Amino acid sequence: MKAVRCVELGGPDKLEVAEVPVPEPGDGEVRLKVAGCGVNFADSLIIQGKYQHKPDLPFTPGMEVAGTITAVGAGVAALEPGQTVIGMTGTGGFAEEVVCPARDVIACPDGLDPVIAASLPVAYGTAHLGLDHRARLQPGETLLVHGASGGVGLAAVEVGKAMGATVIATASSADKLALAGEHGADHLINYTDGPFKDEVKALTDGRGADVIFDPVGGDVFDQSLRCIAWEGRILVVGFASGRIPEAPANLTLVKNMAIMGVFWGAYREKDPAVMTASFATLSDWLLAGTLKPLVSKTYGLDETAQAITDLMERRAKGKIVVTP
């Protein structure tokens, strides 16, 4: 079968597409024929050796897939060949077939296009788990979402609206902001026009945002410290800007606010029940039409490097998906 291979750490230009043996599922594993593999910012980090998880070389990147089960390993009772499922693979997804632990496989919501399904777990999982389980976002609160047209950002806009918040979205261009508006954002701010803290305060009668969802970090995080409400919660989701910011501890005291990390993938190991409950809610919202996931572009397996480059160069909107 064909698979994308990371044979040396570096940018997407170092990736190769190679013929490799079809993987056999071991105990507790299933093999999927990949219909789609969602592209994530983390893919750009893992191939450079800059992600938390550093797989041995050579490896195939690709963290989330949807497809059809083609084989099951020993001890897998609940899944069988022919079923369409979503798999949280961590790596291996940019390939024609991939092996995934059965415990990291969930049912594909009925009737959902597998290419859309492949775009869901990381973005919507992180958005919902972050806003609900971590920040305890309440109906009527104000949510500020940074990078609101990106994969996890656009999901956070939709999840925030589904949870009853007023959503302020930031992004770097008018068309990206328009997209956030189409997906439910109530207020739109271009954060490349200058400081956004005064605009956020003006939109919240001087209070600031109750919850800030930040996948960008850097200067955007620094300014968020200046427009968070009393008892507000800043969710540290990622650092797409390239700078990991620091926060003076006294600001947390003065505003009775919390800065909380969200590492969605860790729940697979540490507390899978939280993830299962989150997926159940997301699945209900999907079937009810509350969520409208956007896959703005698909790429062939041979175009995986281009897909990751588009993400790194801020050209992606919503999610992009590789369809082997």
Ligand X SMILES: NC(=O)c1ccc[n+]([C@@H]2O[C@H](COP(=O)([O-])OP(=O)(O)OC[C@H]3O[C@@H](n4cnc5c(N)ncnc54)[C@H](OP(=O)(O)O)[C@@H]3O)[C@@H](O)[C@H]2O)c1
Site of interaction with ligand X (CB under 6 A): 40-42, 122, 126, 147, 149-153, 171-172, 176, 215-216, 237-242, 262-265, 311, 314, 316
Q: How far is the CB of 82 from ligand X (least distance, A)?
A: 30
Closest to ligand X by CB, 69 vs 86, is 86
CB under 8 Å to 145, separation ≥6 — which residues?
Answer: 153, 156, 157, 160, 167, 168, 169, 170, 180, 185, 212, 213
Q: How far is the CB of 185 from ligand X (least distance, A)?
A: 12
Closest to ligand X by CB, 29 vs 199, is 199
Closest to ligand X by CB, 241 vs 290, is 241
Q: How far is the CB of 78 from ligand X (least distance, A)?
A: 26
Instruction: Map tokens 């959902």 to a residue.
Output: 112
Closest to ligand X by CB, 96 vs 132, is 132
Q: Where are the beta strands (DSSP E) in 22-83?
A: 29-38, 64-72
Q: How far is the CB of 275 from ligand X (least distance, A)?
A: 11
Q: How far is the CB of 130 from ligand X (least distance, A)?
A: 8
Q: From CA 258, how far away is CA 183, in angstroms rounded?
A: 27
Q: From CA 198, how far away is CA 221, in angstroms rounded?
A: 15
The alpha-carbon radius of gyration of the chain (Å, integer) is 20
Closest to ligand X by CB, 165 vs 171, is 171
Closest to ligand X by CB, 90 vs 238, is 238
Q: How far is the CB of 116 from ligand X (least distance, A)?
A: 16
DSSP string for residues in 232-294: EEEEE---TTS------HHHHHHTT-EEEE--GGGHHHH-HHHHHHHHHHHHHHHHTT-----
